[in-house]
Structure 1
Amino acid sequence: MASLRPLRTHPLPKTFFTASARSLATVSPTSSSTSKNDTGTAIVLLNMGGPSTIPEVSTFLSRLFADADLIPLGPLQKYLGPLIARRRTPKIEAQYTVIGGGSPIRRWSEIQAQGACKILDLSHPATAPHKPYVAFRYADPITEDTFLAMKRDGVRRAVAFTQYPQYSCSTTGSSLNELWRLAKKYDPEGQIEWSVIDRWPTHPGLVSVVARHVEEKLATYPADRRDNVVLLFSAHSLPMSVVNRGDPYPAEVAATVHAVMEKLGFKNAHRLVWQSQVGPSPWLGAQTSNTVESYVKKGQTDLLLIPIAFTSDHIETLHELDLEIIEETGQEGIKRAESLNGDPEFIQALADIAKSHLEGTQRSSKQMALRCPMCVSARCEAQKNFFATGKHPE
């Protein structure tokens, strides 16, 4: 097990404190970050993560292809997973080298966690101090190390805050399955009280930031072409076996797209497309790369790609979209909207989502308790019961 480094302190974006000060202007001057709860509240950002350095790529891929929740490979998963990981490692190492030697997702996640907690200490002092943690599924800080660090820190209340705005059993579900497993192993007495922010696909803050990033990029097109730019919202695809089980992810991604287009006034034509298919089995389409190629052949060369299911840049934006799709087309009219990253308005949105959750009485959304129609997983049922009640089944 890798040792967990303390959550690194990153300088927040220069505009962060100015924007935060405006949004916190309504907080009472008598508010204090002194909490009635001495141990405070852990805000745990959940994500798949990415290798921060090239030597981490192999381990990252091994963990990723071992996870049947994300990439179901059937009864031969324990054999096929390592084989696929080994074969893909050199190619993926080369891709991470090109984008700077590793994924920036850890840096952005830590900035987001720290920024949201700073705001929460002021806007919701009753649950302060708010302690930022990052728990990655396949990269450091791996979820197990984060869980053990929380135990050492004496955490008594924790909010598992998914950084997948749209819920899928393959992403948020996998992260929660892992937390549930670790709670059984390391905290059978339930010393840490968990609640879950399990989805937020149409939160006004998320929608507003994405729409603004789209408008900013549209402004770089000549005025006479601007309204004819086709918007391609790109999200990570899913195997059709997961979709056909009844996974809510496609519908929730579509809800985000509709909310953003509504914010934009439906001024441009748009489509929702899907990226990052792995392996020969059928995946949800149309694929982003095929869509771009098809439109270019039809003469539509003003296209704006919009990452709609990611909270920060990583290999799918920096390499797959920017290099494999946009750069290789050689079309100056094909561009990408900025990712959420350290945008102050987005960090404020994270704090607002957490604040609303802390002020509520529910451990999770009602949607989370509802299993997929074709789900037969006993693990899924047990995990959902745990996060709904806070107790392990007898």
Structure 2
Amino acid sequence: MALRQPISQLSKRATSSQISKLAATPTTSLWNHECQSDATRAKRQLATVAPPVTQDATGSQGPTAMVFMNMGGPSTTGEVGSFLSRLFADGDLIPLGRLQNYLGPLISARRTPKIIKQYAAIGGGSPIRKWSEYQSSEMCKILDKISPETAPHKPYVAFRYADPLTEEMYERLLEDGFGRGRGGRAIAFTQYPQYSCSTTGSSLNELWKWRNRLEGKRASGEAEPEGAIKWSVIDRWPVHPGLIEAFAQNIEKTLATYPPEKRDKVVLLFSAHSLPMSVVNRGDPYPSEVSATVYAVMQRLGMKNSYRLVWQSQVGPSAWLGAQTSDTVSNYIKKGQTDLILIPIAFTSDHIETLYELDQEIIGEAEQEGIKRVESLNGSPVFIRALADIAVEHMKSGKACSDQMGLRCPGCVSEKCLNQKKFFSKMDALL
């Protein structure tokens, strides 16, 4: 079955102007074409491919492990301390320089009581594991139907700072028959649509570390042992038509709750997790890729509303990317603009930043009926179908990762980052 290449994929080497052109291309017609009825797809499949592979059978290129990578979150308040300890120990996410090993534990210990109260306020833990496991499982069910040659597709979740940790996921892969002389294919699928060295890059650094410990030179004495897991990476997808459509539909649903005479005057505030300016100035692609997502969504919506991209979750006294979401909402209220919709544009499911920071701190404390938040993607069928399409496109491409991933940030001096990129991109040298 012929697969259409979406305008959104940044798998080709792209300049900022090319990204803008990609983001500016209308997505509605493309995505409507993608979302044909199940009956129509079934007829085509019956005519062109074999029936889906069941879990007790294997396609010619299967099985395939689909590993969802994300930050993660504590499922209970008892896990908050260890979660924060791992988070503040990660210099890729929160760079503290040579004092990382001293300041990280100090900051995490001081913040733990406060953060425990926040998780208690949203039900006693983060739902990100529940949604990640649901999304990965549902995506694999679709993949078994539309890509039987790579089936069965087995879902895994690898969190950076909470259970299931990357090393736990890797041990499960080995226990399930991948690697250790048996080969097998695994795809590291970032659940950060927009690439950052602090998020996707950090997760890949961790995956590379555990690959080396469990399957690489440290484990067997040779850099590329026979029968190791064959890895490839889906490292970014900021303007995929399915992602854009899922966001747009949720925004339209929220706009419909306003009276018709107010609807076009509502200001849309797209909120993304901020980054330290030291990371931004190093050349991290995250701000431009988030901007591309925002612009593509606004084009899909017909540019009917005014909008801004704002940033949340700043930690510590150093300079971070702004304007801050909380400050922006306060300033608009002071100016009399009280019809605002907050859109978590860099998150694919609910967690502490949406359920507490946006809902309870920013919206709750504003006490304005006109300030609302768009529902997170969570179990959106449109979004989950998009994940499956992205995975199929990646597998059909035969590429180890996007070309963009092979290009280091202009100011990057990390040997860990360099070696990780060399491994996952299968390239001998990178800039």
Match of 2:314 among 274, 277, 299: 277
Aligned pairs for 1:163-182 within 5 A = 163-182=191-210
Match of 2:376 among 316, 334, 339: 339
Shift of 1:37: 4.2
Partner of 1:226: 263
Partner of 1:196: 233
Native 8 Å contact 2:61 2:149 kept in 1:
no
Pair 1:110–1:179, CA change in 2 (3 A):
same
Native 8 Å contact 2:52 2:146 kept in 1:
no
Partner of 1:10: none
Native 8 Å contact 1:108 1:342 kept in 2:
yes
Native 8 Å contact 2:195 2:235 kept in 1:
yes
Quick check: 247-256 or 152-161, which moved more? 152-161
Question: Structure 1 length normalisation: TM-score?
Answer: 0.93
Native 8 Å contact 2:91 2:100 kept in 1:
yes
1:48 corresponds to 2:48: no
Q: Name segments (4+ residues, structure 1) moved above 3 Å.
A: 18-27, 34-39
Question: Structure 2 length normalisation: TM-score?
Answer: 0.85
Match of 1:213 among 223, 244, 250: 250
Partner of 2:105: 82
Native 8 Å contact 1:196 1:364 kept in 2:
yes
Partner of 1:11: none
1:310 corresponds to 2:327: no
CA root-mean-square deviation: 1.8
Letter in 2 for 1:368: M
Native 8 Å contact 2:59 2:152 kept in 1:
no
Shift of 1:389: 1.5
Partner of 1:28: 45
Q: For structure 2, list consecutive stretches of 5 or more residues without a partner in the other structure.
A: 1-34, 179-183, 217-224
Distance 2:282 2:423 in 1: 22
Q: Which whole-Å deviations, capped at 9, do the CAs of 1:198-220 have from their partners, x for residues lacking one? A: 00000000000000100000000
Query: What is the percentage of aligned positions where both structures have the same residue?
Result: 66
Distance 2:239 2:195 in 1: 12
Partner of 2:284: 247
What SS does structure 2 have at the residue aligned with 1:134? strand
Letter in 2 for 1:118: K
1:120 corresponds to 2:157: no
Partner of 1:349: 386
Q: Which whole-Å deviations, capped at 9, do the CAs of 1:40-90 have from their partners, x for residues lacking one? A: 000000000000011000000000000000000110000100010000000
Pair 1:20–1:355, CA change in 2 (3 A):
farther
Native 8 Å contact 1:312 1:341 kept in 2:
yes
Letter in 2 for 1:115: E
What SS does structure 2 have at the residue aligned with 1:25? helix
Partner of 1:6: none
Distance 1:163 1:369 in 2: 19
Aligned pairs for 1:259-270 within 5 A = 259-270=296-307
Native 8 Å contact 2:245 2:300 kept in 1:
yes
Letter in 2 for 1:25: A
1:151 corresponds to 2:179: no
Letter in 1 for 2:63: G
Pair 1:262–1:38, CA change in 2 (3 A):
closer
Letter in 2 for 1:186: L
Q: For structure 1, list consecutive stretches of 5 or more residues without a partner in the other structure.
A: 1-17
Pair 1:361–1:107, CA change in 2 (3 A):
same
Letter in 1 for 2:388: A
